[in-house]
């Protein structure tokens, strides 16, 4: 069993940056893919970024060039660096982990509780 805890969310002005962290405890986290998803009020959950156990990454076009995902397996932590934030990036951001995860939420076995990101104009 893997427990995930996100942190780093908050209120930021448009154009600003935030770095989210996802810290894992238990399980074989270093061998799992980790994904970040977000959900805005009234909208479906949306894939943001994924990183494989060995560091391969993927981001959709909507965030490519602005969001970057990285991991430190020694610290059981995955980061999401978010730059040039826009109002439409406002959402609750979740990290997820699993051996077969990639860009779809049903591929992941473990989820954090989420952290709120609010971008003001």
Which among 17, 37, 18, 34 is positioned nearest to 77, based on CA atoms?
A: 34
Checking phi first, is residue 99 left (phi over 0); if not, alpha (psi -120 to 50) or beta?
alpha
CA angle 72, 74, 77 (to 5 degrees): 45
In this structure, are residues 90 and 1 in contact, taking their beta carbons and an 8 Å threshold? no
- In this predicted structure, what is the pLDDT of residue 26? 83
Q: Check residue 1 and give its pLDDT.
A: 86
> Which residues of the chain are under the pLDDT cut of 50?
none
Ramachandran class of 96: left when φ > 0, alpha when ψ lies in -120 to 50, beta otherwise = beta
pLDDT at 27: 80
- CA gap 9, 66 in Å, rounded: 16
Q: What is the pLDDT of residue 42?
A: 95
Tell me how far apart the alpha carbons of residues 108 and 98 are, in angstroms, rounded to a whole number: 5
14-27 pLDDT, tens digit each:
999 999 999 999 88
3-state secondary structure of 88: helix
Q: Is 87 exposed, middle or buried (0-12, 13-18, 19+ CB in 10 A)?
A: exposed
CA–CA separation, 121 vs 29, rounded Å? 37
Report pLDDT for 88.
Answer: 96
């Amino acid at each position: 069993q893997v427990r995930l805890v996100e942190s780093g969310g908050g209120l930021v002005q448009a154009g600003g940056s935030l770095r989210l962290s996802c810290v894992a405890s238990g399980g074989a986290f270093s061998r799992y893919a980790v994904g970040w998803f977000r959900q805005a009020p009234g909208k479906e959950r949306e894939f943001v970024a994924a990183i494989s156990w060995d560091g391969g990454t993927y981001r959709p076009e909507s965030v490519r060039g602005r969001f970057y995902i990285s991991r430190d397996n020694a610290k059981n932590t995955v980061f999401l660096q978010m730059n040039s934030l826009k109002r439409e990036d406002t959402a609750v951001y979740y990290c997820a982990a699993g051996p077969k995860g990639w860009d779809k939420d049903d591929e992941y076995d473990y989820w954090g509780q989420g952290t709120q990101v609010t971008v003001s104009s």
